[in-house]
Structure 1
Amino acid sequence: MAVDSTDDLEAVLGYETIAVVGCSSTPGKAAHNVPKYMLEHGYDIIPVNPFADEIFGREAADTLADVAETIDVVCVFRPSEEVSDIVDAALERDDVDAIWMQSGIRDDDAAARAEADGRTVVQDRCLKVEHRRLVA
């Protein structure tokens, strides 16, 4: 389902484990600061970045397929043109309930595929902004 309502956003923010594709080890970048904020607010953050060994003291997975833990939400910090492949990787997993594309990131075709597979999809919204607005 596509998420537009406050209730739907709050439901996604109720999940605990977030795999962050494109998570950055560089402080100051949104792809670092947003997951760090979520970690500081009690979320289990799994960094996914093939160019980093570890982020936030956790081993970084190269791909979603390499994540051994259960994932509730896949948060995407990659360009829109990479979303389709990331969504396909998320759909290969039975544990992913939601896919969240950060501000400025969207792929309507990939979102439709995910929604057709029963996953919740948020596009073009900042996880940190919505958490601050609705939960914090």
Structure 2
Amino acid sequence: MRTPRQILTEAHTIAVVGASRDPQKPAHWVPGMLQEQGWRIVPVNPHADTILGEHAYARLTDVAEHVDVVEVFRPADEAPEIVRMAAAVGAGAVWLQLGLVSREARQIAGEAGLDYVEDTCMGQERALHDLVHGCEQPPRCRVYHGNPATPDIAEVPTAPWS
């Protein structure tokens, strides 16, 4: 099983089940930050047409392109079915955001051969390892002061790549 860092390093496309249109919710700004850092984000939300400038799909099984990781921002009791759908679309990993834990989903993922992360924020993991995707030059890191929806944002250059 790959570590969270390995999953992020090897991923190109992240489907976000439960992506939000509300910029004040983590289900919006975490995938937005990942998008800014170079990952392809595919929002999954049956109540939205677009999120983060991307077409939003009603169900994970509606996504036509390959998905490397399924990031979950839905209640833990929905996780087992989401893991089943992730296996059906050929995803390599399922990642339950901070606060989400499901023994049944973990078991289903293991049986399906999927890497599985739970109760971990993908955005925090990305920041801890200073990961960016597909960029020759690291992008400028946005430092949010207070509410990420407010305009009080300072851009700070990231550390040089080693």
TM-score, normalised via structure 1 length? 0.92
- Of 126, 133, 136, which residue of structure 1 is paired with 2:128? 133
Q: Aligned partners of 2:53 and 2:28: how far apart in 1?
A: 13
For 2:130, the aligned partner's letter is: V
Q: Does 1:118 align with 2:113?
A: yes
> 1:1-60 CA distances to partner (integer Å, 9 max, x unpaired)?
4x6xxxx12111111100000000110100001000000000000000000010111110
Residues 1:46 and 2:42 are matched in the alignment: yes
Q: Contact 2:48/2:56 (CA < 8 Å) preserved in 1?
A: yes
Point out where structure 2 has 5 or more consecutive residues left out of the alignment: 132-162
> For residue 76 of structure 2, what is the aligned residue in structure 1?
80
Q: Residue 22 of structure 1: which of 1, 13, 18 is its match? A: 18
2:99 aligned residue (104, 109, 116): 104
Pairwise CA RMSD = 1.0
Amino-acid identity (%): 42
Q: Distance in 1 between matches of 2:32 and 2:23?
A: 9
Which amino acid counterpart does residue 126 of structure 1 have in structure 2?
Answer: C
Q: Is the 8 A contact 1:10 1:135 kept in 2?
A: no
What code does the residue aligned with 2:89 have?
Answer: R
AA paired with 2:71?
C
User: Quick check: which one's helix share is greater?
Assistant: 1
Q: Distance in 1 between matches of 2:53 and 2:73?
A: 19
**Bigger CA radius of gyration:** 2
Shift of 1:116: 1.9
**Which amino acid in 1 is paired with 2:98?**
S
Distance 1:118 1:135 in 2: 28
**TM norm structure 2:** 0.77
Instruction: Say which structure, 1 or 2, has more relative contact order (CA 8 Å, 6+ apart).
Output: 1
